[in-house]
A and B are shown apart, each in its own frame.
Chain A
Amino acid sequence: MSWLTVLPILIPLTTAVFAALAWQNLPAQRVIGLIGATALFVLSVVLMVVVWQDGVLAAQMGAWPAPFGITLVVDNLSAAMVVITGITGLAVAVYSIADIGRVEANAGFHPMLHFLLAGVSGAFVTGDIFNLYVWFEVMLIASFALLVVGGGRAQFDGAVKYVALNLFSTVMFLSAVGLLYGMTGTLNLADLHMKVREVENTGLLAAVAVMFLVAFGIKSAVFPLFFWLPASYHTPPVAVSAIFSALLTKVGVYALIRVFTLVFSPEALGEAFDWIQTLLLWIAALTMITGVLGAAAQTEIRRILSFHIISQIGYMIMGLALYTALGIVGAVFYILHHIIVKANLFLVSGVANRLTGSYDLKKIGGLYKSKPFLAVLFLIPAFSLAGFPPLSGFWAKYVLIKAGLEVDAYWIVAAALVVGLLTIFSMTKIWAEAFWKPHPGGDGAIAVTVDRGAMLALTLPIAALALITVAIGLYAEPLLSLAERAAGELMDPAAYVRAVLGAGA
């Protein structure tokens, strides 16, 4: 069954190639994109089921035995991340039918979307740290192209900042990989798990750990390294913003969780781990707070949502920083819930813009009166983001706060609760301005005559994602046990190491 691990990369790559061959042929590209995204989603579910039943899957590329070749490894965390990639990829592929026109398609939207999915899936399934760097770059170059697709002025402005800071982060990542290789002589993550313990100079190891922290910190937009995100995420078409908000920062968080459980574990770093943990806790708290305060100051829907990504990243880092089994469960659960909710909110903002003509809250309104169903579809992810029961966000926050209380980290719990309250403030602001108050241009300013087919393509993914949010909220048990199993594998990577290096390790 180990060949299954290759497919999450292979399917989107093939789709991208076919979509590129169908350049200038928009209908064909849409069909190819839909087929590819559906295939990736189905495969990801199969992969999840197999990993759930049989445990960690590993495949040695080119039949080079493990630590010498590149290994692809899928544990429960990787499989869950690939599933969530499949879900959001499919949602965006459907949404893009109505959102992405000829201009963006001719600039390469469809192939680049699938290259992005390939890069993201590759980062999730690889078990080799240099290969992780390569997948980061695949993801990055695809995201560059997607960010400027259509070529608006604001897009170039945002892209300059996005490109500059992310390139810096990859150089940092690359140097850190080089130094780690110099100390341990291996690049395989499972092998690194063993070899880092033999490094005598733990101070040097801690320095490299912090380099990884900075590199992945820029990727995952933590305080104070997040400035590229609010500068760029609101500029591209909504389909692009949605897939960015869902996946890109989360790959950074995933990488942080992976290296700080598998490689830079407390056993490897010794005392240095304690202050890195304290550093992570501070980063988590400050990320939450600055993100939510930044959002409070904005009046553009997509910019509000962008700042909320930052604030939510803080919660995930909090789970990692607590470094207890329950904390990691919370972080994993939070990532899975957040991806669905955040992508959905961006998709809703796109529909709101299409109906009212602007993203600026001052210029729009009246959506509740004209589209009550859309208002409900907005409320579900918005309240889930803020953490209202019985939606998915409630359980995510509940687990994290319980984990915080367990280790008496009261101040981070207090920060998490206050940030939750402020999130409600932002969400009610969007609700009151975009949905509740009348449109400043009068009722006639709302376009009610959007093409039915286009409206269906726009609403279907939103409704599906909202349904998932409600389903997780009402029946959180399966996802929670998945997060528990993933966290168990992270905290005790014996199964992971055995799957990669064989029974002898």
Chain B
Amino acid sequence: MDALLALTVGVLVSGAVYLMLSRHLVRFLFGLILLSNAANLVIFASGRTTLALPPLVPDGLEAPAVTVANALPQALILTAIVIGFGLLAFAMVLAYRAYQSLGTVDTDAMRVAEPDVNGAGEAAEEPAPARSEAA
């Protein structure tokens, strides 16, 4: 089981690295999703894979009577999944808005914030959207 998990993590990470090396923003984000799933599996494997009962305490007892599985890694992964979902959802929307606003998903072509000093980044000279005057 451990070997299988290690192998899965390895495949996920290598796929993630391949995708993240791309200049295409959406590919990069797909890579990030794979990587965050790999991280979740790392936590799962760190908690050891055991054949044991679920950690339930029977009626009338203070502690489980038999050896039970470690529930903490699952709790950590659950937290990480929820957080990762929120962050990646934001990142996806951001990628879409950036595409709408900048007209490209090629990260090399995104030079608005850091215009080329030699004038290649002329697009950057477009006026910034009007900021509201503060009261």
Contacts and interface: CB of A to CB of B under 8 A. Distances in A.
A171 B94 contact: no
A260 to B, nearest CB: 21
Q: Lowest 7 CB-CB distances: which A-B pairs, in order?
A: A182-B46, A101-B132, A178-B43, A157-B113, A158-B113, A157-B112, A156-B98
A145 B94 CA distance: 10
A98 B76 CA distance: 42
A344 interface: no
Interface string B99-135: 0011000010011111000000000101011011111
Interface string A137-167: 1001100110010111111111111011001
A134 B83 contact: yes
Contacts of A97: 134
Interface residues of A, number: 51
Majority DSSP secondary structure for residues of A touching B: helix
Contacts of B80: 133, 174
Contacts of A232: 113
Interface of B: 20, 25, 28-29, 32, 35-36, 38-40, 42-43, 45-48, 72-73, 76, 79-80, 83, 86-88, 90-91, 94-95, 97-98, 101-102, 107, 110-114, 124, 126, 128-129, 131-135
B83 A234 contact: no
A412 B102 CA distance: 42
B84 to A, nearest CB: 8
Contacts of A140: 87
A167 B45 CA distance: 22
A211 B126 CA distance: 41
A327 interface: no
Interface of A: 26, 97-104, 130, 133-134, 137, 140-141, 144-145, 148, 150-161, 163-164, 167-168, 170-171, 174-175, 177-179, 181-183, 230-232, 234-235, 237, 454
A226 B29 CA distance: 20
B73 A181 contact: yes
Contact of B131 (A148, A150, A156, A234): A150
B78 to A, nearest CB: 12
Contacts of A235: 113
